Structure 1
Amino acid sequence: MIFSAVPVRAARRTALIILALSLAACGGGQGDKQGLFSMAPRNEQRAGAGEQRESTIWDLFSNRDTGNQQVGVNRYLWNASLDILDFLPIQTVDPFTGVIVTGYGTPPGGGRAYRATVRISDPSLDARSLKLSLQGPGGAAVAPDTVRTVEDAILTRARQMRVRDGQL
């Protein structure tokens, strides 16, 4: 059999064109030497005063953790939420985002099952920091008064915990 060299040459030519275009895309353009693969120090990057610095591939390997990161969750609201909703089985707890998701459970003395999702969005002990969502079986809506009552119970318990800690 005789193989034709034309398809092989066309494939090589296409591969070289793709390689050249991809390498050209990595460059910074306009004659500067800062592109995607630039290893210039951060202060020599394009960022001027108030201008965002473009990221490079080397940013994947840099350690940007400053050690000043704080969890934005109020501990009193967090503990009060767990305390008030202790009759519900916990499915997911994430203290870094402030989310508690529970399964269905029946409150003491109640006949209807609920499930709750709590989101604590701020480190302050404030009603605006607490977001509560209650669902009935099958995703049924829960009366706003019931949600408000549970929110008030969580806020009251959080304030009690804070006062108790202040007396130490």
Structure 2
Amino acid sequence: MKYILILLLALLTTLSSCEKDDICDAATSTTPRLVIDFYDFNDPSTAKAVIDLTIIAEGMTDGITYQSSTLINGSTVSIPLKTTADQVKYRFILNYGSTTTSLTNEDDIEFNYIRSSLFVSRACGYKTVYELNQLNPYIWTDGATADELWIREIVLETRSITNENETHLEIFH
């Protein structure tokens, strides 16, 4: 009986010292990306896919990998904002890699924002959320003046970037 009591006490001590695993669930929201939808300039209610679009951050040589490719052929894209700076500049290059260089067209967009850290959980830590600058949320220029702007209009849908469930920016081309 004495041995059973000692064994039970040892088992109870062992179980009480166990700690719950801190694993961040994959479904937990992390630092959101900027969601951009592309629309037809001539018919603003119609989504319009971009053809062979690549998006390259300033200072980088490779485009953002999107669905295992750096070329985007769709009407929606999500791009990351820097977590260490209050601005990031991207080159939006349409028809990237085209054998006809006159079809390639580059526009630049610089995004200006304020970063905030938001505690998610002990397992996941913090995530960064963004608020686009109220006066100048973006600066849009032609990457190469000879090719003119392929982006015709940009509409800011929401300044707060807290999740990827909503469109933040609409680009008309």
Same fold (TM over 0.5): no
| Higher RCO (C-alpha 8 Å, min separation 6) | 2
**As a proportion of its length, which structure holds more strand?**
2
Of the two, which has the highest radius of gyration? 1
**As a proportion of its length, which structure holds more helix?**
1
